[in-house]
Structure 1
Amino acid sequence: MTTLSVFDQSQPETARTVTENPAEIRELLARHGVRFEQWPTRDLPADASQEEILEAYGDEVAKLKAECGFQAADVVSLNPDNPQKEALRKKFLDEHTHREDEVRFFVRGQALFYLHFGNEVFAVLCQKNDLISVPDGTRHWFDMGPEPEFTCIRLFTNPEGWAADFTGEDIAARLPHYEALAGAAG
């Protein structure tokens, strides 16, 4: 189930707020300009190709492209048997920003987005059906866990794809990781 945990960065060991209510999650995130929606998903084979996934969600991708000016869409999919899973997890675990909105629609599985606003960190456990759009310039990081299992459609205004500016702050190392938060949610 999708959850939102809110932490004070000076007391990272305990979440101040935890909710599983999608309307409340949407409202709390919207206060910071984050778009959160839940969309229906389609039944696709576990080994569906990027092309098959993008075709299945062609109408939704086209709508977001027209609405937000996105130029490119792709699919990222990770499974526990991926030999590069540790390196990929580490790549996204440090706080960073982007010069464009970071949009993900989860068509399978789950992962955590951490969003850093002032003294607060919002940890959003996104799951199948969740669409999240993190505004450009928002400090954040992503934790797919030690055994990643998810598929997301990503949209970009930059046709070259994902590019990050790392903040150099250690906040990500001080908060509970995926193992603690996803385990608590399950």
Structure 2
Amino acid sequence: MTTLNVFDQNAPANPRVVTEDAGKIANLLAEHGVRFEQWTTRDLPADASAEEILGAYADEIRALKDECGFQAADVISLNPDNPQKEVLRRKFLDEHVHSEDEVRFFVRGQGLFYLHFGDQVYAVLCQKDDLISVPDGTRHWFDMGPEPEFTCIRLFTNPEGWVADFTGEDIASRLPRYERLAGAAG
């Protein structure tokens, strides 16, 4: 189930807010300009190709492109047997910003977005059916866990794709990781 934990960055041991209510999650995130929606996923084979996934969601992708000016869409998929899983996890675990919105629609599996607003960190465990759009300039990081298992559609205004500017802050190392938060949700 999708969950939201809100932490005080100066006392990160225990969250201030914990909820599984999708409407409440959407409202709390909207206060910071974050778009959160739940869409209905399509029945696709587990081994569906990127082209099949993009084709199955072509109408939704087109609508988001028209609404938000996105130029490109792709699919990222990771499984526990990926030999690069540790390298990829570390790549996204440090706080960073982008010069464009970061949009992910979870077709399969789950991942944990951390959004840093002032002295608060919102940890959103996104799962299948969740769409999240993190506004450009928002400090954040992503934890896929030690055994990643997810497929996401990503949308970009920059045709080059994912480009991050790392903040150099160590805040990501001070908050509970995927193993604790996803374990508590499951």
Q: TM-score range by the shorter chain?
A: over 0.9
* Corresponding letter in the other structure for 1:2: T
Deviation of 1:168 (Å) = 0.1
1:117-142 Cα offsets, whole Å, 9 max, x none, are 00000000000000000000000000
Deviation of 1:167 (Å) = 0.1
Q: How does 1:140-151 map to 2 (within 5 A)?
A: 140-151=140-151
| Equivalence for 1:16 | 16
**SS of equivalent residue, structure 2 residue 14:** strand
Q: Distance in 2 between matches of 1:56 and 1:180?
A: 34
Q: How does 1:130-145 map to 2 (within 5 A)?
A: 130-145=130-145
Q: Distance in 2 between matches of 1:7 and 1:17?
A: 7
| Equivalence for 1:175 | 175
Q: How does 1:10-159 map to 2 (within 5 A)?
A: 10-159=10-159
TM-score under structure 2 length normalisation: 1.00
**SS of equivalent residue, structure 1 residue 53:** helix
Taking only aligned residues, the RMSD between alpha carbons, in angstroms, comes to 0.3
Return 5+ residue gaps in structure 1 as ranges.
Answer: none
Aligned length: 186
TM-score under structure 1 length normalisation: 1.00
**SS of equivalent residue, structure 1 residue 77:** strand
Deviation of 1:52 (Å) = 0.4
* Corresponding letter in the other structure for 2:13: E
User: Share of identical aligned residues, percent?
Assistant: 81
1:39-70 Cα offsets, whole Å, 9 max, x none, are 00001111111000000000000000000000
Deviation of 1:165 (Å) = 0.2
| Equivalence for 2:7 | 7
* Corresponding letter in the other structure for 1:154: R
Deviation of 1:143 (Å) = 0.2
Return 5+ residue gaps in structure 2 as ranges.
Answer: none
- Runs ≥4 residues deviating over 3 A: none
**SS of equivalent residue, structure 2 residue 13:** strand
Q: Distance in 1 between matches of 2:15 and 2:179?
A: 15
Q: Distance in 2 between matches of 1:59 and 1:4?
A: 29
* Corresponding letter in the other structure for 1:158: N
* Corresponding letter in the other structure for 1:62: R
* Corresponding letter in the other structure for 2:150: F
